[in-house]
Amino acid sequence: MEIKEFVKLCIAEDIKDGDHSALACIPENAQDKAKLLVKEDGIIAGIEIAKQIFKEFDEQCVFEPLLKDGDTVRYGEIAFYITCNSRALLGAERLVLNVMQRMSAIATKTQKFVAAIGDLPTKVLDTRKTTPLIRFLEKEAVLIGGGVNHRMGLYDMIMLKDNHIDFAGGIQSAISQTQEYLKSNNLDLKIEVETRNLDEVKEVLTIGGIHRIMLDNFSYEDLRKAVQMIDKKFETEASGGITREKDYAR
């Protein structure tokens, strides 16, 4: 979603026909300066988005960043100064705070998982389990925290999950139909197949013609066996039941 469209929707939700509190007592041409104060340690995210939001409210605003997206921050630091029309400042204030609070929380959490796997040849991926209409913000926050975007939606990658496989009549049928669909529609999309046990992993390996195998809710022991079975023939992805408290990485 373009930031202009996002801000337009946010104004329609929050301001509608006017911020009557500001309109009632703030002069039309008043100018003010404000700062964003960091209230919690972590990874800051959303500074560039904040700048764009303020610009949508007041094209003449002056945005002075003291920090950048991805910086480690401490309580009490100042992230930026903003000078702009007073009414615009009051109208954009809560939107900027809401966006930055959510993005910074996601970036901070992501960074903790990234740090947990250290220098292992493994990446932390996000999912489509995002808040409707602000996926682009949450996905950006994952990147800022050091993670990797898995896919943006249903349109940019094929993921054959358990429901697809069951409805298609099995793994063989799901893969072959998908390959034919991509060919007949002249689409160049990667195929990922979800597996629920080692037998399904074996089946996918036998069929081939895909790019990545997801190992869904595998035990630590079966996860290790599956990775050894796949032996780098395809990309592997582990999903479900993985926390920073479990030593899956070793």
Verify whether residue 129 is a known catalytic residue: yes
CB neighbour class for 217 (10 Å; exposed up to 12, middle 13-18, buried from 19) = middle
pLDDT digits (tens, 9 = 90+) for 205-246: 999 999 999 999 999 999 999 999 999 999 999 999 888 875
Please tell me the distance from the alpha carbon of residue 143 to that of residue 99, in angstroms, as a whole number: 15
Longest dimension (CA), the chain: 72
Report the distance separating Cα 188 and Cα 86, nearest Å. 50
Choosing from 71, 216, 222, 237, which is the catalytic residue?
216
**pLDDT tier for residue 79 given thresholds of 50, 70 and 90:** very high
pTM, 2 dp: 0.92
The active-site residue, picked from 102, 109, 161, 190, is 161
**Catalytic residue flag (residue 161):** yes
Marked catalytic residue, from 126, 194, 200, 212 = 194
Q: Where are the domains of the chain?
A: 3-116, 157-250
Choose the catalytic residue: 33, 35, 68, 94.
94
Residue range 94-113, pLDDT digits in tens:
999 999 999 999 999 999 99
CATH code linked to domain 3-116: 3.90.1170.20
CATH of domain 157-250: 3.20.20.70
Rounded Cα–Cα distance for residues 157 and 235 (Å): 14
Which entry of 16, 129, 183, 232 is annotated as an active-site residue? 129
Report the amino acid identity of residue 36. Answer: L
CA distances to 85, 167, 195, 228 from 199, in Å: 64, 19, 9, 14
216 catalytic? Reply is yes
